[in-house]
């Protein structure tokens, strides 16, 4: 990015493998679970003083509220003009739980019983709007809806608001709570979901993605302001890019050409050479075509075996519009811990794929350096972040 430097000064996570950044990290280094990745025994009441407000908030927004609370607690007192504070939260399907519930209400009880809060609960900008109102942040309040790339795009878009001088800090991330009977049936009937319930990125036995819910929120802050107030800086958003495959509504472009262009543009934006990249957190969904396209794209840009690669979806599953934010959080934690979590569920690299340096088995020690976080979504959306270590 050509403007002001963008620091990450807060990080909050709500995920099936752990609620809170430390629990999330422990989960990333644990064995792969089996089955859908849901947050069991979720209790939103801990984050809402008013039970009525909680009931009028869809689950995907509740997750964003919890993650943002943790991120802001870490960031500390920003003491910034509220008109210079923004919110940017991505999602794929937004308040789909509310929508499906209220459709059932209409069909069984009639139109007059449909909740008047249906629209504000289901709308995809509800999470961003809720965080803005909750914390009094009056700058740009927006959201990105680009399927599985939404979280990555939201962080990239938010970083530009800071870099270009429109905001001094932005709450940025992605949130998703997609588990409804119709949603699961739709993904299952299109044969996108794993029938084994195991996510096996880049493994020859991979048989689809394991659906997940979750949210991560980052506090992005202008670097000099963060340093001046003595904030703890987790990392730096060096650059980002967004491209379209313009090929197919669900399948990636042949040879990973969209992913190739996206990663190259992100590196150019960050001013980072391919040879300087130390790590890639892959999109790595455990689907046949996506893993093949991404491995091919990585090899095209970085050669073989290239940088250290992991797919944290082996543990987290695929949280759709929340996935990119969760993976950005995983990168920042890997930098802090100086360990890269393994690709859980993976046993053998698919011999038909280019050889990539995939972390398997145990976390791998590394010297943190420029890292790519990739997200590729239905609709041909490609997103890449370049994250720098402190």
Residue 90 lies in a domain: yes
201-249, pLDDT tens digit by residue? 999 999 999 999 999 999 999 999 999 999 999 999 999 999 999 999 9
Residue 2 lies in a domain: no
What does the DSSP assignment read for 53-110?
A: HHHTS-HHHHHHHHHHHHHHHHH------GGGEEEEEE-SS-SHHHHHHHHHHHHHH-
CA–CA gap between residue 161 and residue 158 (Å, rounded): 5
Catalytic site includes residue 247: no
Residues 6+ apart with CB under 8 A from 207: 194, 195, 196, 200, 286
Ramachandran sector of residue 181 (left: φ over 0; alpha: ψ -120 to 50; beta: rest): alpha
Residue 346 lies in a domain: yes
317-367, pLDDT tens digit by residue? 999 999 999 999 999 999 999 999 999 999 999 999 999 999 999 999 999
| DSSP run (H or E) holding 280 | strand 279-281
Catalytic residue (choose from 17, 153, 279, 318): 318
Q: Is the pLDDT of residue 194 over 90?
A: yes
When divided into structural domains, the chain yields a total of 1
Residue 93 lies in a domain: yes
Catalytic residue (choose from 153, 279, 283, 381): 283
13-54, pLDDT tens digit by residue? 999 999 999 999 999 999 988 999 999 999 999 999 999 999
CA–CA gap between residue 268 and residue 136 (Å, rounded): 35
CA–CA gap between residue 357 and residue 390 (Å, rounded): 24
Global pTM reads: 0.97
pLDDT band at 124 (very low <50, low <70, confident <90, very high): very high
CA nearest to 312, candidates 290, 343, 338, 334? 343
Q: Is the pLDDT of residue 1 over 80?
A: no
The pLDDT, as a whole number, for residue 2 is: 80
Average pLDDT over residues 141-157: 98
CATH number, domain at 299?
3.40.47.10
Average pLDDT over residues 283-305: 97
Domain that holds residue 256: 7-388
Residue 202 lies in a domain: yes
Catalytic residue (choose from 148, 167, 215, 262): 148
Residue 1 lies in a domain: no
Residue 291 lies in a domain: yes
Q: Is the pLDDT of residue 166 over 80?
A: yes
Q: Compute CA distances 151 → 143, 173, 270, 288, 299, whole Å.
A: 9, 5, 19, 22, 25
Average pLDDT of the chain to the nearest whole number: 97
Catalytic site includes residue 148: yes
The two tokens of residue 132 are 């803005």
Catalytic site includes residue 318: yes
Residue 370 lies in a domain: yes
């Amino acid at each position: 990015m050509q403007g002001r430097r963008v620091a990450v000064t807060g990080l909050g996570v709500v995920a099936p493998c752990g609620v809170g950044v430390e629990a999330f990290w422990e989960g990333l280094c644990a064995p792969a679970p089996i089955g859908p990745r849901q947050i069991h025994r979720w209790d939103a009441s801990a984050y809402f003083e008013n039970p009525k407000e909680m009931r009028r908030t869809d689950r995907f927004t509740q997750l964003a509220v919890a993650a943002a609370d943790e991120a802001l607690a870490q960031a500390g007192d920003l003491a910034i003009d509220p008109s210079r504070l923004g919110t940017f939260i991505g999602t794929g399907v937004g308040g789909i739980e509310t929508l499906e519930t209220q459709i059932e209400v209409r069909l069984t009880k009639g139109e007059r019983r449909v909740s008047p809060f249906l629209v504000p609960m289901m709308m995809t900008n509800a999470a961003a709007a809720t965080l803005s109102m909750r914390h009094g942040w009056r700058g740009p309040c927006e959201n990105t809806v680009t399927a599985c790339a939404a979280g990555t795009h939201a962080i990239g878009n938010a970083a530009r608001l800071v870099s270009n001088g429109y905001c001094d800090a932005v709450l940025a991330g992605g949130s998703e709570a997609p588990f409804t009977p119709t949603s699961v049936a739709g993904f299952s009937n299109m044969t996108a979901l794993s029938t084994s319930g195991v996510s096996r990125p880049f493994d020859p036995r991979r048989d689809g993605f394991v659906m997940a819910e979750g949210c991560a929120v980052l506090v992005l802050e202008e670097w000099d302001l963060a340093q001046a107030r003595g904030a703890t800086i987790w990392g730096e958003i060096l650059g980002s890019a967004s491209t379209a495959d313009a090929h197919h509504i669900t399948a990636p472009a042949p040879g990973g050409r969209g992913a190739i262009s996206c990663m190259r543009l992100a590196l150019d934006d960050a001013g980072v050479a391919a040879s300087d990249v130390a790590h890639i957190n892959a999109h790595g969904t455990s689907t046949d075509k996506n893993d093949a396209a991404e491995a091919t794209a990585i090899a095209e840009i970085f050669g073989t075996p290239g940088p250290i690669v992991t797919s944290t979806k082996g543990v987290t599953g695929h949280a759709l519009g929340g996935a990119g934010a969760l993976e950005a959080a995983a990168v920042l934690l890997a930098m802090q811990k100086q360990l890269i979590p393994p690709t859980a569920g993976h046993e053998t690299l698919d011999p038909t794929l280019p050889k990539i340096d995939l972390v398997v088995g145990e976390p791998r020690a590394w010297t943190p350096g420029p890292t790519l976080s990739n997200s590729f979504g239905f609709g041909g959306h490609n997103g890449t972040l370049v994250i720098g270590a402190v």
